[in-house]
């Protein structure tokens, strides 16, 4: 069974704080992803990584950075949290796609509130 | 125009009803297609892939129309446990990046 874990289920931070969200997967997946999910907007991709020390910007990378020093771990960093970063953050991992056979496995999410 | 568009609902149906969700995508070069299910306050999980010839998994049938860039999900004999948000998902290229629709909420009532 694939397991993706995230460091916190709920987090409350103040504006301007540096925030670290950690994600760990135990299935030796090459790909890892960070999304945020907001009502009416669905899931939006922030950053992704296809390998250790590799990262690529998603659709909304502004205000975020990532780190992938080990294959199983992908960290999302908010350098200076702002109230518009209040959201549900979801991490996912996957093997590379093989034709139409492809699945991303999600962690339980971290609900971040920035006050 | 959004890359993947869905009717957000909510769809409120009685148990036993048949319900259909539709989804359109904008990138005609999209490679593969999926439906994910997300329960309230839970993470999304793959429900089924969508193949060009259409495919069925029990009470669930998925169809793809590449010419119209349209995907559908049909649920027959709805159960209370089918209540969830259904996400239409598209893989636009050969890589692993997915584009998610905003989801369609289904509520099945007794």
pLDDT higher than threshold 80 for residue A99: no
Query: Which residue does chain B place closest to A31, by CA atoms?
Result: B96
Interface test with A, best of B51, B86, B97, B104 (most A CBs within 10 A): B97
Strands (E), B1-110: 4-6, 11-14, 19-25, 32-38, 44-50, 55-57, 60-65, 70-75, 84-91, 99-100, 104-109
Confidence band (pLDDT; 50, 70, 90) for B94?
low
pLDDT higher than threshold 90 for residue A13: yes
pLDDT higher than threshold 70 for residue A61: yes
**What residues have CB less than 8 Å from A48, skipping those under 6 apart?**
A31, A32, A33, A34, A55, A56, A58, B96, B97
- Name residue B1's beta-bridge partners: none
Which residues in chain A touch residue B104, judged by CB atoms under 8 angstroms apart? none
Query: Which residue does chain B place closest to A89, by CA atoms?
Result: B43
Query: Of B73, B60, B74, B69, which Cα lies nearest the Cα of B3?
Result: B69
Integer Cα distance of B86 and A27 in angstroms: 26
């Amino acid at each position: 069974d694939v397991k993706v874990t995230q460091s916190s289920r709920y987090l409350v931070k103040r504006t301007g704080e540096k925030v670290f969200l950690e994600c760990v997967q135990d299935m030796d997946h090459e790909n890892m992803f960070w999304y945020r999910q907001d009502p009416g907007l669905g899931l939006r991709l922030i950053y992704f990584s296809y390998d250790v020390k590799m990262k690529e910007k998603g659709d909304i990378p502004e205000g975020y950075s990532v780190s992938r020093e080990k294959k199983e771990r992908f960290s999302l960093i908010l350098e200076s949290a702002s109230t518009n970063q209040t959201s549900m953050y979801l991490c996912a991992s996957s093997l590379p796609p093989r034709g139409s056979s492809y699945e991303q496995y999600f962690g339980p999410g971290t609900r971040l509130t920035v006050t | 125009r959004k890359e993947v568009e869905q009717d957000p609902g909510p769809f409120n149906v009685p148990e036993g009803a048949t319900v259909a969700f539709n989804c359109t995508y904008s990138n005609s070069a999209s490679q593969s297609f999926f439906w994910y299910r997300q329960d309230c306050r839970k993470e999304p999980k793959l429900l089924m892939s969508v193949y060009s010839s259409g495919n069925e998994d029990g009470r669930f049938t998925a169809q793809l129309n590449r010419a119209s860039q349209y995907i559908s999900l049909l649920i027959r004999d709805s159960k209370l446990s089918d209540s969830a948000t259904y996400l239409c998902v598209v893989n636009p290229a050969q890589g692993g990046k997915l584009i998610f629709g905003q989801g369609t909420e289904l509520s099945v009532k007794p």
